[in-house]
Structure 1
C-alpha cells in the first residue's frame, strides 16, 4: 500500500496539522477516531521520550496516525549577538514582570537523535518541516515501515523532497498559521497561496499532496480536493477545539480576531511565522531582520511567552494563527472533523449540480467549434 492508498482509505480526508504547544495527543486521537488522520507534534520532545510516546499512541487504536518533527539546526551563535538579543528583549521582559534569561548552553534539541528515535519507533507516517532529509534518512524511515511526508512552500521544495524519496508532500500555503516551512529561498520569495501551490505541485511532482493553509471549513476541504489534493491539512481550524492547549490569553485573542488580523513576523523566533498581529510584532518590525536566526531567538524569547501568558498580556506573546482564523469554531475535535466533512460533501454536491446543469445550475457548454464562445 502506498501513502496515497492510505490517504484514499481514510473515511474522512482531513489531516490535523501538528501544532507544537497547542495540539496534544488527545486532539490527534479524537481526529483519528472520527475518521481523519491525527498528528503528534513531537518537535519539542526529547529523543529519549519519542519512542515511548509513539508506542503509547499506537496502542490507542488500529487507525493510522502521523508524527511531526522540525529540523532545527545545531547552532553556536556569537556571544555578542546573544547579549544584544537579550538586551533587545529586556524591556519586554520587564513589562510582564520577568527577568530576561541568561545565555543558554543549548538552543535546540538534537534533531539527529530525535530522527533516530523516530525511525526506531516507526510510526505509520512521519512529516518534517524546515528542511529536507537526505536520501539515506528517508530510506531508513521507509525501511522501518514509515511513510515520509515533506513540507514544501514552493514547487522547488516539493521537487527536493521527491528527489530525496519522500512518499508525499505537505503543501503549506502562505495562509497557514505558525512557522513557515520554507528552506530553499527567502520567505519573501516563497509566499505561494494554497490553491496555486497545490495545483502547481500536483503538476510538477507525482506524489500525493496534503493541502494546508487557510482551510477553515468544509468548503475549503472540497476546494483542495477538487484541485487534486489527497487530503486537507487543517491546523488553525482546531485552535478553539476543546482539546486545544491554548492558554486563556491566546484563546481570547483568537476568539476576538477581526476580519484580517494576521501577519508574518520573525521577531519572536528568528523564523517567519504567521499570527494575530499584536504590539510586539508592530514595535519589533523595524528591527526584526536583526534578531538572531531560529532557534536562537526562539530560545531567548521562550520565557517571555510564558510570562506574558501569566501576566495576561496578549501584546507580548505570539498568537499563532492562519488567515481565516475568524472562521474558527468551538467544539470537540472529532465532532468538528465530522461537521467539516459533511460540509465538504454538501459543497461537492452543489458544485456537481452547478457544473452538470442541475437545479440552480447552468446548462452544459456547447463543444461545437462553430457555436462561438
Structure 2
C-alpha cells in the first residue's frame, strides 16, 4: 500500500460509501475520528446537496474522508423491456398507492456538476463506481491533491483502472452488499462472480496499484485475511449500516439480523443493475423479470421503494446487504472501528505465533 493512502488514516478500515441516504456526514465523521476513513456517497444527490454534506462533514471532523461518485451510464437499455417491466409493476403501484417513476429521469447523476464541486472544494480522496473516469478527470483531481480509487470486480477491470491513471483500486468481491461496481452490466444473477480473496490474488498479480478490499467483511479476522492476501485496507458497508449514526431506515437495520431474512441474492429488481440484498417478496416476484436497464429501473421503482419504507414494509424495500449481514453489530461507528482494529491486531498476533515452516520434516 502506498504511503499516500495509508497516511490518510491510521487503521486499515474504510467505511463504504452507501448511496440513498445511508452514508451521512455524522457516520463518516465518527469513522474518521476513530482512525478509519469515513466516506460520503454522492450518488442520487444534487451537486449542491453534495457540497452541503461536505461542508457539514468538515464542521464535524478535521480528519481525512472520501467522496464516491457514480459514473454516467451508456444508453444500452431496451425501452420495450423497460415498458414491459413497468406494466408488471402496476400492481405494486396500486398496492402502495403511488405512481411509478419516470425511467427517463436522467443518466449521468449530475456527474459533471459534482466533479466541479470536488475540484473547487478538494477532498482527500474520491472513488468511482460503475466504470472508469477519463485520464483527464483523474489528472485534474490529482492536481488539486486528491487521491483517486476506482472499483473493479475482475482483474481485467483493475487493469483498465491502472491504465487510466487512478491511484488505487477498490477490489469488490461478489459477497459485497449493494451494487456491484462492474464497468459493464454483463454479470449473471446466479452469484457466479469472483469471491473477494480469489479476486485480490488475481488483481495483485495483474496490477501494481494499492488495493482496498471490499465484499462481505464484518470482522477484524476477515480484514486481516484480506490484508494478508495483498490488500492495503478493507472497505466495509453492511457492518456500518447497522450503527446508530447510519442514515439507513430503521426497518432496514432490523432486517439485517431478523431471522425472517435468511440469505442475500444479486438482483436487478430495484435498479436494473446487479446489486446484493436480503431476499424479500419484491425481489422474489420481480427479480427474474427485471431487465438490464440502469438507471431506468432505479428511477421507475424509486417511488415504490420510498412508499414501502414509509409504510415500514420490509418486503417492498431494497434491503441492500452483504453476505455477512447476520454478523452485524449495533455499536456506535467509532466504537466499531476500534473493535475491528483490535480484532485485526489479534488476528495478526495469532498468525505470527506460528513459526515459518522449513520445508517439511527432516
TM-score normalised by structure 2 residue count: 0.92
- Give the count of matched residue pairs: 359
Counterpart residue number, 1:251: 253
Q: CA shift at 1:137, angstroms?
A: 1.1
Q: Does 1:196 align with 2:198?
A: yes
Conserved 8 A contact 2:261-2:280: no
Counterpart residue number, 2:359: 367
CA distance in structure 2 between the aligned counterparts of 1:79 and 1:170, rounded to whole angstroms = 32
Q: Does 1:241 align with 2:240?
A: no
- Alignment CA distance shift 1:9-1:271 (3 Å): closer
Counterpart residue number, 1:270: 272
Counterpart residue number, 1:157: 157
CA distance in structure 2 between the aligned counterparts of 1:276 and 1:304, rounded to whole angstroms = 17
CA distance in structure 2 between the aligned counterparts of 1:172 and 1:328, rounded to whole angstroms = 19
Q: Is the partner of 2:53 in helix, strand or coil?
A: helix
- Alignment CA distance shift 1:85-1:50 (3 Å): same
CA distance in structure 2 between the aligned counterparts of 1:327 and 1:92, rounded to whole angstroms = 32
Q: Is the partner of 1:132 in helix, strand or coil?
A: coil
Conserved 8 A contact 1:266-1:273: yes
- Alignment CA distance shift 1:350-1:292 (3 Å): closer
Q: CA shift at 1:280, angstroms?
A: 1.2
CA distance in structure 2 between the aligned counterparts of 1:259 and 1:310, rounded to whole angstroms = 20
Q: CA shift at 1:185, angstroms?
A: 6.7
CA deviation string 1:242-290 (max 9, x = no partner): 11122132222212157851000011100010000111111123312xx
Counterpart residue number, 1:186: 186
Q: Is the partner of 1:252 in helix, strand or coil?
A: helix
- Please, what is the CA RMSD of the aligned residues? 2.4
Counterpart residue number, 2:45: 45
Conserved 8 A contact 2:78-2:293: no
- Alignment CA distance shift 1:259-1:284 (3 Å): closer
CA distance in structure 1 between the aligned counterparts of 2:226 and 2:105, rounded to whole angstroms = 44
Q: CA shift at 1:50, angstroms?
A: 3.2
CA distance in structure 2 between the aligned counterparts of 1:315 and 1:260, rounded to whole angstroms = 13
CA deviation string 1:19-66 (max 9, x = no partner): 012121111100000001111111122123434432442354332111
CA distance in structure 2 between the aligned counterparts of 1:5 and 1:162, rounded to whole angstroms = 16
CA distance in structure 1 between the aligned counterparts of 2:253 and 2:13, rounded to whole angstroms = 23
Q: Does 1:330 align with 2:330?
A: yes
Q: Is the partner of 2:251 in helix, strand or coil?
A: helix
Moved more, 147-156 or 8-17: 8-17
Q: Does 1:128 align with 2:128?
A: yes
Q: Does 1:34 align with 2:26?
A: no
Q: Point out the structure with max Rg over C-alpha.
A: 1
- Alignment CA distance shift 1:11-1:91 (3 Å): same
Q: Is the partner of 1:255 in helix, strand or coil?
A: coil
Counterpart residue number, 1:212: 214
> Equivalent residues in 2 for 1:164-179 (5 A)?
164-179=164-179
CA distance in structure 2 between the aligned counterparts of 1:51 and 1:328, rounded to whole angstroms = 31
TM-score normalised by structure 1 residue count: 0.89
Moved more, 45-54 or 197-206: 45-54
Conserved 8 A contact 1:158-1:201: yes
Q: Is the partner of 1:263 in helix, strand or coil?
A: strand
Q: CA shift at 1:225, angstroms?
A: 1.2
Conserved 8 A contact 1:31-1:38: yes
Instruction: List alignment gaps of at least 5 residues for structure 2.
Output: none
Moved more, 101-110 or 44-53: 101-110
